[in-house]
Amino acid sequence: MEKSPQESAIRKASGPRRMLAATRYSMQGLVRLWREEAFRSEAVAFVLGLLLFAVIGAEPYQYLVYVILMLLLFCVEALNTAIEELVDRISPEISTVGRHAKDLGSFAVFCLLCANGLFVLWCLWDSFAG
């Protein structure tokens, strides 16, 4: 089957060039996410949490779990932001469906914030009670 001129003109990168392109797209996403106050607050909380763990003498596995939980939070925050942008683009007027989509994304972020908070509290309790 012969390719159309449009298909021939668009070539997807492969190998190392694809990895470079994916990295560039990810960094562009990070720059976009940095404009969100919620993400900046979470990034500050991440650093403060690491400092707190150093002060209480957290175990290496606790650092690992904390970093994984924070990376998950950053991931969900990025997806929530993507949902909000798509809803605003597709449906700029107020709609029930759009509001539900945004609320569900917000709830996902809230769940991970709670998981992170509970883990930090458990680490504090473990440090002072143990």
CA distances from 50 to 41, 42, 104, 114 (A): 14, 12, 29, 17
Task: Assess whether 85 carries a catalytic annotation.
Answer: no
Check 2, 36, 42, 77 and give the catalytic one: 77
> Considering only CA atoms, which of 36, 124, 125, 27 is closest in space to residue 82?
36
11: left (phi over 0), alpha (psi -120 to 50) or beta: beta
57: left (phi over 0), alpha (psi -120 to 50) or beta: left
Contact 110, 99 (CB under 8 A): no
Question: Which residues participate in catalysis according to the annotation?
Answer: 77
